[in-house]
Amino acid sequence: MWGKNASAQVIVGVRPLVSIRALAGNRFSTKVLAARSFAGKFVQLQRRSGGQWLTLKRVRLGSTSVATLKASLPMGNSTLRFAFSVNQAGAGYLAGFSRTLVYHRG
């Protein structure tokens, strides 16, 4: 406030950094990074199908905000990402998504 004039409140949302990494045997790893830990929160592995993102599996982040899971995928290529919802992220944070990863199951 300056004199009798009040300025509008500004709220800034920060998007957490979400990673995706393919491991051997249809396993995938993610880490969610921001200024605070997201330990105990849930992240979703999603697959692109018919123009939509379908959730394959939901997993809880460990004490270092890391999770690893095994996914059942169809034969051939699958476009995957990890999604971290705004509801899991909490106040001051936006939803976060990893880059997409094209994974081939032969």
| pLDDT score for 6 | 77
- C-alpha distances in angstroms, 53 versus 35, 48, 74, 82? 28, 5, 15, 10
**CA–CA separation, 91 and 93 (whole Å):** 6
Average pLDDT over residues 55-83: 97
Query: Mean pLDDT across the stretch 85-97?
Result: 95
The domain locations on the chain are 17-105
| Fold (topology level) of 17-105 | Immunoglobulin-like (2.60.40)
pLDDT score, position 7: 72
Answer yes or no: is pLDDT of 55 > 60.
Answer: yes
pLDDT at 2 over 70: no
Higher pLDDT among residues 5 and 41, named by residue: 41
Q: Tell me if residue 40 falls in helix, strand or coil.
A: coil
pLDDT at 16 over 90: yes
- Which residue, among 86, 93, 87, 94, has the nearest Cα to 36 in the 3D structure? 93
